[in-house]
Amino acid sequence: MLSYAEVLVDVANRRLDQSYHYLIPELLDVKIGMRVLVSLQNRKVQGLVVNVTNELPYELALVTIKPVLERMDKDSLIPPDLIELAHWLAQTTICSIAQSLHTVWPLLNGKVEEWVIPLASLKDADVQTLQWLDPDAFRAMNVINRARSKAIALNTFIKRADISGTTLEKLIQQGWIKKEARFVSIGKGAVKKGTLGEDPLVKSLNQENGANGPENRTGRTYELTREQATAVKSVVASLEEGSSHTILLHGVTGSGKTDVYRDLIAHVIAQGGDAILLVPEISLTSQVARYFETQFGDQVIILHSGLRPREKMKAWEDILAGDKRIVIGARSAVFAPLLNLRLIILDEEHDGAYKQDENPKYHARDVARKRMEQLKGVVLLGSATPSLEAYAAAQSGKIRMLTMTRRIGESTLPPVEIVDMREELIGGNRSVFSLLLQQKLRERIERGEQAMLFLNRRGYSTFVACRECGYVVSCPNCDITLTYHSQGQAMRCHYCNHTELPPLTCPKCASRYIRFFGQGTQRVEEELQGLLPEVSILRLDFDTTRSGEAHRTILARFRRQEASILVGTQMMAKGLDFPNVTLVGVVAADQTLNMPDFRARERTFQLLTQVAGRAGRSTKPGEVIIQTYSPTDGAILRAAQHDYQGFFWEEIRYRKERNYPPYTHIVRVLLLHEKEDRVIKGANDLEACLKQGIQDLKFRKNEIDILGPAPAVLTRLKNQWRWQISVKGRRLDLLRAFLHQGVQRFYKGPASSGIILNIEVDPLSS
């Protein structure tokens, strides 16, 4: 009986984004989950077998079915639940199935290449005669016969042999060589076997922290607080039910959420299960893994997108072999193929880094919930400042919530004082530091304690502008201003990295009054050094952590108290615990508050609360100073009071009045092209396709709103013009189906040619 493979072809082209049926040759054993080589529109592509059947769909009954050309794998590569997850991801993020497959199973990455295989040896008499008759052909045969595997990629062969196309065809016609299509995995190769404890970054962290780090142990020797023990008991009860659950763990900064995670993972491992712990930033993975490796040893593995392909391949092999049972990593680690996954934890679940900013634009929280829905496990969302969506879901009973209101040990939440910078200016203080912050800094220095200063902007000055005509120096590739950096005395675009020297006169009006405005971490560091010349200062931002080891080195030096003050951006707000830090200063709270985004107040509250939580985490009491020009804003006042509930109810009323998420959903389509007229035409055509869909599907009035088309907030970025269209409605399933149909209609028209679409469901930024 004939059998057929239903194959998802690996092409990120929406016109071909579907499964195709291929005949399985009689001697070829093909199973679901295998990669195969197939023919599609006169080219060879790889695909994934998602079904094997003896019957063809009715519409293919009279069609000639092409055969599967080759099997790429001996065994099924992808578990059925992850194939299902890829389908779900493509549907929910409205991306191609090929893109979602590469995201769910990144080891699919590879390409089909032409290879050359020798059919004759150098010892053959007719090949030997080529030395005199055709030296070029003989040189080519010598190259291929010396290849390690007696086969060589065509392009490499032509380059090494330095031959023409005519000579190549002659060798083929004479039967001395042949060409063959082969699938080549990207990054394939051996990697030395090792454990997390052998990770140089983790080993260095353990050595540097010494007594400050946890002692080596095989089981728990610390005591949980009553709140921690209650949280653990509640989650364990959910795990034992054998059904899917999502639980929000709302614990104040310093309440010991990490110890709760560790106890829960220990329970899961003891019961034969596996667990994933996600952190928002790659830079945090080794720091967090240190605590777990001391208890669980080489069962722990770090996994994130920063790994080289070979490292990632080796990590996945270890996971699939059952050698690794605890995965700690950033966003992409949510797809780790653990064999008996029972628990996924998202630490700092509110963080925007959990949202992927490239297609498919998934949120790790949604993927975690889908996986645990498939496998009947538990998702634990941990945060001191939960996202409004998660907290609203808990308030409405859609998910459960556990709370921890006290810090562990003797530490307490630090008092926060708000400084009105308008009054500082009136009083004649033009420094970036208020008189109160200066006083508190000097007190800490005298007592041998440490301080952290937070400013959510790197660089020296925010922008360079002319005071006469108002001209602002902008990036020629992007629709944003350039930021001045005193190091190198250059202006830099923080999107495309364009750099140029600051002008001596205004390029527009030739005025000499062109000045630096705003402030960044570099300028704060410089002014602080002038204020306290004898004090050692470190800076932690993107510019100082470009190298792989820099982030760890800076934090290790600060932990060893080689510096009294650490100046940094929002990367300083996450997961840092320094016992000697007793003062945190927020230099300018308004920079996040005044962003053109309805989530600006939520982000401001979260950042201020998280940064404030770095102070007084040990036996020494802490203090927090917030400098602002908006001292009466609710987000700042509530953060100063550590009052999440008060902020939530204020903000949720604001969202409801304006019909913002979580009371509605938004799907944004960003159109990109190098030519502005093409992207505008494409945006208008997409709008027409969407409006046609409203008429065809007969939606009720106001059930779906189309917003735009309009220029994006950043109209031009990296030499690409950007326009956007958003659709808004209460039912997300309806929005997705509506938009998917509109996009399919758009791709059938000529205006889509060359247009790149980025589609994002419930975007986290404007």
Reported as a single tens digit per residue, the pLDDT across 254-289 is 899 999 999 999 999 999 999 999 999 887 787 788
How do 35-40 and 70-71 pair as beta strands? Answer: antiparallel
Q: Give me the architecture of the 4-109 domain, per CATH.
A: 3-Layer(aba) Sandwich (3.40)
pLDDT at 94 over 80: yes
How far is the C-alpha of 710 from the C-alpha of 725, rounded, in Å? Answer: 7
pLDDT, mean of residues 335-339: 92
More confident residue, 516 or 748: 748
Residue 511 near residue 465, CB atoms below 8 Å? no
Domain 196-404, CATH homologous superfamily name and number:
P-loop containing nucleotide triphosphate hydrolases (3.40.50.300)
To which residue do tokens 């083929």 refer?
A: 172
Asked if 196-404 and 416-459+520-657 have one fold, the answer is yes
pLDDT, mean of residues 333-341: 93
What residue type is 300 in one-letter code?
Answer: V
Q: What Rg do the C-alpha atoms of the chain give, in angstroms?
A: 30
Confidence at 385, pLDDT banded by 50, 70, 90: very high
Taking domain 665-761, whether its CATH number is 1.10.287.610 is answered by: no
Per-residue pLDDT reduced to its tens digit, 473-486: 877 875 566 777 65
The pair of three-digit structure tokens given for residue 713, joined into one six-digit string: 């907030």
pLDDT at 331 over 60: yes
pLDDT at 458 over 60: no
pLDDT, mean of residues 95-106: 80
pLDDT at 195 over 50: no
Confidence at 111, pLDDT banded by 50, 70, 90: low
Nearest to 706 by CA among 689, 688, 728: 728
pLDDT averaged over every residue in the chain: 83
Residue 346: what pLDDT?
97
Strand order in the sheet with 110-118: 152-153, 110-118, 177-185
The pair of three-digit structure tokens given for residue 469, joined into one six-digit string: 């005509």
How far is the C-alpha of 141 from the C-alpha of 121, rounded, in Å? Answer: 8
What are phi and psi for residue 642, nearest 5 degrees? 55, 40
What are phi and psi for residue 92, nearest 5 degrees? -80, -30
State whether residue 135 is helix, strand or coil.
helix
CB neighbours of residue 425 within 10 Å: 11
How far is the C-alpha of 511 from the C-alpha of 27, rounded, in Å? Answer: 80
Per-residue pLDDT reduced to its tens digit, 155-176: 888 888 888 888 888 888 888 8
Burial of 614 (0-12, 13-18, 19+ CB in 10 A): buried
Lowest-confidence pick of 74-83, 519-528, 540-549 = 540-549
pLDDT at 213 over 50: no
Residue 548 near residue 519, CB atoms below 8 Å? no
Residue 251: what pLDDT?
94
Residue 165: what pLDDT?
80
What residue type is 17 in one-letter code?
Answer: D
Lowest-confidence pick of 125-139, 165-179, 691-705 = 691-705
Q: Which residues partner with 55 through β-bridges?
A: none
pLDDT, mean of residues 25-46: 86
Lowest-confidence pick of 207-216, 421-430, 657-666 = 207-216
CB neighbours of residue 631 within 10 Å: 17
Domain 416-459+520-657 has what CATH class? alpha beta
User: Residues 6 or more apart from 737 whose CB is under 8 A from it?
Assistant: none
Nearest to 585 by CA among 440, 416, 458, 453: 453
Please, what is the angle between helix 200-209 and helix 285-296, to 10°?
80
pLDDT at 403 over 90: yes
Query: 237's torsion region: left (phi>0), alpha (psi -120 to 50) or beta?
Result: alpha
Rounded percentage of the chain residues whose pLDDT exceeds 90: 33
State whether residue 494 is helix, strand or coil.
coil
Residue 380 near residue 344, CB atoms below 8 Å? yes
Burial of 46 (0-12, 13-18, 19+ CB in 10 A): buried
Peptide bond between residue 662 and the one before it cis (omega within 30 degrees of 0): yes
Residue 602: what pLDDT?
92
Dihedral sign (CA 440, 441, 443, 448)? positive
Residue 312 near residue 304, CB atoms below 8 Å? no
pLDDT, mean of residues 621-645: 91
Question: What is the DSSP code string of 138-161?
Answer: HHHHHHHHTSTTS-EEHHHHHHHH
Residue 444 near residue 566, CB atoms below 8 Å? no
pLDDT at 86 over 60: yes
How do 341-347 and 378-383 pair as beta strands? Answer: parallel
Q: Would you kindly state where each structural domain of the chain is located, as residue ranges?
A: 4-109, 113-185, 196-404, 416-459+520-657, 461-518, 665-761
Per-residue pLDDT reduced to its tens digit, 638-676: 999 999 999 999 999 988 988 888 888 989 999 999 999
Confidence at 208, pLDDT banded by 50, 70, 90: very low
Per-residue pLDDT reduced to its tens digit, 600-612: 889 889 989 988 8
Residue 607 near residue 573, CB atoms below 8 Å? yes
To which residue do tokens 């260095």 refer?
A: 204
Confidence at 201, pLDDT banded by 50, 70, 90: very low
pLDDT, mean of residues 564-578: 80
- Helices and strands in the chain: count of H runs, count of E runs: 24, 30
State whether residue 13 is helix, strand or coil.
coil
pLDDT at 440 over 90: yes
User: Residues 6 or more apart from 540 whose CB is under 8 A from it?
Assistant: 551, 554, 555, 566, 567, 568, 569, 571, 572
pLDDT at 496 over 70: no
